[in-house]
Amino acid sequence: MSDPSGVIDPGTSAAPPPPRRGGWRPTLLHGVGRPWLFVAPVLLALAVVIGYPVVRAVWMSFQKDAGIDEATGMFVEGGNAGFTNYTHWLLQQCQLPTGGVESCPTGNLGSQFWAAIVVTLLFTVVTVALEATIGLGMAMIMGKTFRGRALLRAAVLIPWAIPTAVTARLWEFMFQYDGVVNRVLGTHILWQTDPTWSRVAVIVADVWKTTPFMALLILAGLQVIPGDVYEAARVDGASAWQRFTQITLPLLRPALLVAVLFRTMDALRLYDLPAIMTQGNPDTRTISILVVDQVRQGANSASALSVITFLMIFAVAFVLVKVLGANAVATQEEQRKAH
């Protein structure tokens, strides 16, 4: 209560203000709905750019291609094909005595598909392993302190900065029969047509092109490692090899796993290097090249192949994220416990 002089009695609490009536607080701007309001434009853009093409490709993969019916010679419209487009790629095999995927008829696409899968996995495993190993060595050198280090880092990134089509054309000239490679090595190898050496040529060109990318990612991980750890190891008498195996590799594992993950996803979609360098050699035909070749013959059958390729890459990415991601998290937890 207050006296006539206007002084409020300290023992009396002020009455709460009356509740506001008629007001409305939108849930999208407060509480749980606010994050979705900011994420909604990005989700909408992803749905248009990524979601619609994927859904459209899946729908087309179950449709027949319009064309001439071999039995009647009449033009027929496309219709529901069921899983026929998928069985053409996954089940049918070429049984011609001449062998080779280039001798398979159009209807027997299974051998072409599995041959392209083998070539794609071969390129992925070999190139990623070589690029990770060479990139680690390049990152170790670029991480040292010496005069001209900035110039070396800029020079190393030149192969990665060159467009892939230009790189493929450059190596195509070098791997010709009378090119630089045969003259330097003193050999007479048909790099563009030989089943084995054509794959070696593509692997060499891809390693030269993409190793700087791996080295850049690994170098970023090296720069995070504190120098005090190496100084303490030197004081304890650890050798250079012990410091590399006991300090560098364990602390560099998260960055190395991320580099391997990104590079693996890129290698599974390899197209331009073998397509330009070997110019349609079936021994270097990757799954992406097979998709592009099939688009010229039938869009719906190519859509089925695209869906299969998408599922394959998604499965590989899922396994790598689960396995490599778990290892990276475990490594970070070990580092926190050690500190």
Q: How many degrees, rounded to 5, is the angle at CA 247 between CA 242 and CA 253? A: 125
> What's residue 89's pLDDT?
80
Question: How many whole angstroms separate alpha carbon 247 and alpha carbon 156?
Answer: 25
Structure confidence by residue, pLDDT tens digits, 218-267: 998 888 888 888 888 888 888 888 888 888 888 888 888 888 888 998 89
* Cα 33 → chain centroid: 33
Q: How many degrees, rounded to 5, is the angle at CA 256 between CA 250 and CA 258? A: 125
| Residue of 125, 138, 274 whose CA lies nearest to 212 | 138
Structure confidence by residue, pLDDT tens digits, 90-133: 875 544 334 344 444 444 556 788 889 999 999 999 999 999 99
Distances (CA, A) of 170 to 44, 131, 174, 179, 266: 41, 20, 6, 11, 21
Distances (CA, A) of 243 to 236, 254, 259, 336: 11, 18, 22, 19
Look up the pTM and report it: 0.75
> What's residue 166's pLDDT?
92
> Average of pLDDT values for 164-190?
91
Give 209: exposed, middle or buried? Use CB within 10 Å, 0-12, 13-18, 19+.
buried
